[in-house]
Amino acid sequence: MSISRGDYTVGDVGVPINFDADIDMTGIDIDFEFIKPSGNVIVRDVSSISTTRAIYNWAAGDLDEAGTWRLRVREEDTGYYFVPEDEQFEVAPKPADQGIP
């Protein structure tokens, strides 16, 4: 099982984050639990499932904090976590917040 992700920046919309499992997830309700750098948690239903891949596309307002984020992937009905430890990824500040015009 693995998480594949791209480079994220505060304010990104429509950029995918993917979870690949070793099992067929067709018909299973999957949630992505994102833990922000502040510790706040947001839970999002996946945008799509394609057999062994669950995909969430970032929505407006989701990526609102720069820093290290954590991700947990769970089956909604049973509460089963697919990955025993949180996956981590970075979200960069907006270029304007970095002093880049």
Q: Show the tokens assigned to 87.
A: 């996956």
pLDDT digits (tens, 9 = 90+) for 9-57: 999 999 999 988 888 998 899 999 999 999 999 999 999 998 999 999 9
3-class DSSP state of 97: helix
Share of the chain above pLDDT 70, in %: 89
All structural domains of the chain with their residue ranges: 2-98
- b/e map 62-94, b = 16+ CB within 10 Å: bbeebeebbbbbbeeeeeeebeeeebeeebeee
Contact 80, 33 (CB under 8 A): no
Q: Is the pLDDT of residue 96 over 80?
A: no
Q: Is the pLDDT of residue 100 over 70?
A: no
Q: What is the mean pLDDT of residues 53-75?
A: 94
pTM score: 0.86
Label residue 95 by pLDDT band (50, 70, 90). Answer: confident
CATH tag, 2-98: 2.60.40.1930
Is 39 or 94 the better-scoring residue by pLDDT? 39
What is the rounded average pLDDT for all residues in the chain? 88
